[in-house]
Structures are given as C-alpha cells and as structure tokens.
Amino acid sequence: MLELAQIRSDFPALSQKVHGKDLVYLDSAASALKAAPVIKALHQHYKKETANVHRGVHFLSEQGTRKYEATRLAVQRFINAKHDHEVIFTKGTTDSLNLVAFSFGEKFIAPGDEILISTMEHHSNIVPWQLMAERRGALVKEIPINDAGEIDLEAYKKLLNPKVKLVSLCHISNTLGTINPIKEMTTMAHEIGAKFCVDAAQSAPHMKIDVQDLDCDFLAFSGHKIYGPTGVGILYGKEELLNQMPPYQGGGAMIEKVSFTGTTYNHLPEKFEAGTPAIAEVIALKDAVEYIESLGWDDIHQQEQELLEYATKKLLEIEGLKIIGTAKEKTSVISFVIKDVHPHDLGTLLDQQGVAVRTGHHCTQPLMERFNVNATVRASFSVYNNKEDVDALMAALNKSLKLL
C-alpha cells in the first residue's frame, strides 16, 4: 500500500488553496504535479550548475554532461531499452511523434503506403501522420473502436495489409482511460511487415513500460506527465531503425563534420538532438523517474484502481450522468457528460470550489464525434489523489448541479 500522506507531502502544490478552498487536483492527465526532488534538481541547476552540455572542458560543463547522460541511463532502465542510445531527448510526446513522422516518413514511406491510427488518438498522434501522408502521397486509415471505447481488433486485423508501413497507437487513451492491447497489436503489425509506434504519454505514469517485451519500434512520452519538468520528452526507437533514418533537425551537436562540400552526421543519440537541449529539465527528469520507481508499480496500480472503482461508483449515483469510456482494461481517467449540462459551465463551477478538472474535447475531436458529444468533463487521478478528493469532487458536483 502507498503511504498517501507521505506521498501528498512530496507534492508542494497540494498544500495550497485555490479560490479560498483546498486544492483538489484532478487534472494529472493534462499535466501531473511536480515531485519535490524534481523541483529541487531544477532549482539546483539554475542556481549553481548552469552550463551547456557536450561541448565544454570546464568543470560545470562536464558535470552537466555527466548528469544529462545519467538521465538517459535512468530512462533506459525505466523503459527497459536494450541500449542507452535508443533513448532520444525531445521536447515532449508531440515532438517525439513529429520526429518519427518526418524522419521515418522520409526514409520508409512511399506513395500509396498506409499508416494506421485509431479513433481514440490525441491530435498529436493524428496530425503529424496526416502531414507526413500529404508529403509522401500516403494514406492515413482509422482503426475503429466499439461503444465501450475499446479497439475493434477484428477491424484492425482486416485493415492490416502489405501496404501498411506503420501503426501508431496510444497505449492509454487520455480521454477514455482505455488500456490498449499494445503487445498483441504490435505482433499483428509485425506479421505483415509494418512497424509499430506507441504513444505512451498516458501510460508512462500509470504502468511499467518494457519496450523489449512490447517489441514496439518506437515509443514516445512526456516528462511533465510523470511528475517531471515540462519541455522534455522521450523518443525510444530501435537502434537499427534510428540508424537508417535521416536527421529531423539540423544544427549543433547532431553533426560529425560540417563542410560546404558535404556534411556528415553524428551517431545515435546525438543525431536526433540538434541544438542546446532542455538541460535542467533533462537532469531533473532523472529524479522524476526515480521517484516513480521508489513507489513501485504494483502499489501505484492498486491505489489507482481503487480510486477508479470508488469514483466510478460515486459518479454513477448522479442522475443523468454518463461515463464515456467503459473499457474492461482501464486506468484512472473518467470522462463524463451530464444531460443538458455544458461541461465548460460545470468545470468553471467546480474550479470555484477548488476542484481542478479538464473540460472540452481533450485534443481528441474524432473521438468526440464517435461518441456524438462536443465535450466532456474529465477527472484524472494520480498517485497523490485519495478518496477525500473523490468526495470533494462529488460534493462540488452536487452543489454545482443545484446551481445550474
């Protein structure tokens, strides 16, 4: 069991009032609160350790480089990558997916090729593929979902054909909370020779990721959703693929030799890390990773599943409330609508009572269309949430509904 009181004290943001009320933070799917060791590492870097990495011989630069590379090793362990150079630092999930779409697209996508994505994808796992398809004359096709918000595996099987070069899918849906059968779907894609890219933005905080076990070809996630800093993300890619792919951006650090007669590129991972990176943020990401590991995945899972069950049961007591996303395999994200009530109005009233939720389309407009809604209210729970948070949400909801 997680020591919730201890965990809550690790997140300084929780001990504040919003609109005069204790903050109840139920928007971790958008961005998680920052753990104290992460804040300390950022502070330390900006206060005393500022220097650029991979280019100085002086003490601070060498120390910075050592710490920056230590995060790469921590992330390698976090996702069980075979090699540390398969871990590329980016700006975030969006940046990682754009990198794959551009670079993989340039090398491997020809006119008439197909890319499969599902109805439940975040816009950042839709639009980069559409842009790439436009550039390369390829086609983006949709893997449908059922009414519970689960992938239609039969339809997926039918869509797989030799023209499909890549499948890109969220591990967990940010709107529905559905956990997708990534390993099984990767095996199916590989059987027809397609590569598989995992958008792990929502799974990285909730479950152990093992890229070798999943056997995925690419995997992307963001630091800010795992209690770490903004401005830093991860792209994992299999070495043999990354080696064949052209650089995404040109600039410092990604080159071997620059000349007007021909430029050559650095090896992995620097080939994909042009320019000065988010140094402090990368360094502090190590503290985020270690923080999660110190909690332990089994306990995280148990705590979040208990909250999911409790919150689902409580919410369904409200008359006219409908949960969007009722998959069997689901994480602690609950989207809902209440008859005739506009989610935005509800979100604003909840906020006035100190309860932070997200309202809107959650960057998943095709999914909203599939469920025939314009918007939902989304409560997303994390390791620092407790049953009192659910009770506070319920009290605030009931009060808001009386006002509306």
DSSP assignment string, 342-385: -HHHHHHHHHHTTEE-EEE-TT-HHHHHHTT-S-EEEEE--TT-
Element (H or E) spanning 105, and its range?
helix 93-108
Strand partners of residue 21: 18
In whole angstroms, what is the distance from residue 197 CA to residue 234 CA? Answer: 13
In whole angstroms, what is the distance from residue 336 CA to residue 396 CA? Answer: 15
Q: Looking up tokens 């992995």, which residue turns up?
A: 268
**Cβ atoms of 87 and 234 closer than 8 Å:** yes
Between 98 and 103, whose beta carbon lies closer to ligand 7TS? 98
Distances (CA, A) of 239 to 156, 250, 253, 261: 27, 20, 19, 28
Size of the site for ligand 7TS (CB under 6 A): 17
Catalytic residue check, 170: no
In whole angstroms, what is the distance from residue 107 CA to residue 109 CA? Answer: 6
Closest CB 1 distance from ligand 7TS, rounded Å: 28
Q: Per CB under 6 A, does 149 bind ligand 7TS?
A: no
The bridge status of strand 233-237 relative to strand 218-222 is: antiparallel
Closest CB 201 distance from ligand 7TS, rounded Å: 4
In whole angstroms, what is the distance from residue 198 CA to residue 169 CA? Answer: 5
Residues 32, 362, 367, 400: which binds ligand 7TS (CB under 6 A)?
362
**Cβ atoms of 176 and 324 closer than 8 Å:** yes
Residues within window 217-246 making contact with ligand 7TS, judged by CB under 6 A = 222
Residue of closest CB approach to ligand 7TS = 174
Q: Per CB under 6 A, does 136 bind ligand 7TS?
A: no
**Cβ atoms of 228 and 34 closer than 8 Å:** yes
Q: Per CB under 6 A, does 307 bind ligand 7TS?
A: no
Between 117 and 396, whose beta carbon lies closer to ligand 7TS? 117
Site string for ligand 7TS, 151-180 (x = CB under 6 A): -------------------x---x------
Between 113 and 236, whose beta carbon lies closer to ligand 7TS? 236
Closest CB 33 distance from ligand 7TS, rounded Å: 14
Only segment of 142-150, 198-206, 236-244, 299-307 that touches ligand 7TS (CB under 6 A):
198-206
Tokens of 387: 């049953």
Only segment of 86-94, 133-141, 345-353, 383-391 that touches ligand 7TS (CB under 6 A):
86-94
Residues 199, 287, 304, 389: which binds ligand 7TS (CB under 6 A)?
199
Closest CA to 283 of 26, 53, 16: 53
Residues 32, 79, 92, 176: which binds ligand 7TS (CB under 6 A)?
92
Between 67 and 122, whose beta carbon lies closer to ligand 7TS? 122
Closest CB 220 distance from ligand 7TS, rounded Å: 8
SS3 assignment for 283-298? HHHHHHHHHHHHHCHH
In whole angstroms, what is the distance from residue 199 CA to residue 132 CA? Answer: 17
Catalytic residue among 170, 197, 216, 363: 363
Closest CB 268 distance from ligand 7TS, rounded Å: 22
Residues 28, 71, 98, 125: which binds ligand 7TS (CB under 6 A)?
125
Between 286 and 362, whose beta carbon lies closer to ligand 7TS? 362
Q: Per CB under 6 A, does 202 bind ligand 7TS?
A: yes
Residues 7, 117, 160, 201: which binds ligand 7TS (CB under 6 A)?
201
Q: Calculate helix-pair angle for 279-295, 36-44, nearest 10 degrees.
A: 160
Site string for ligand 7TS, 93-122 (x = CB under 6 A): xx---------------------------x
Q: How many CB atoms lie within 10 A of CB 206?
A: 28
Q: Per CB under 6 A, does 357 bind ligand 7TS?
A: no
Residue 110, by phi and psi: left (phi above 0), alpha (psi -120 to 50) or beta?
Answer: beta
Q: Per CB under 6 A, does 90 bind ligand 7TS?
A: no
Residues identified as active-site = 363
Residues that bind ligand 7TS (CB under 6 A): 29-30, 92-94, 122, 124-125, 170, 174, 199, 201-202, 222, 358, 362-363
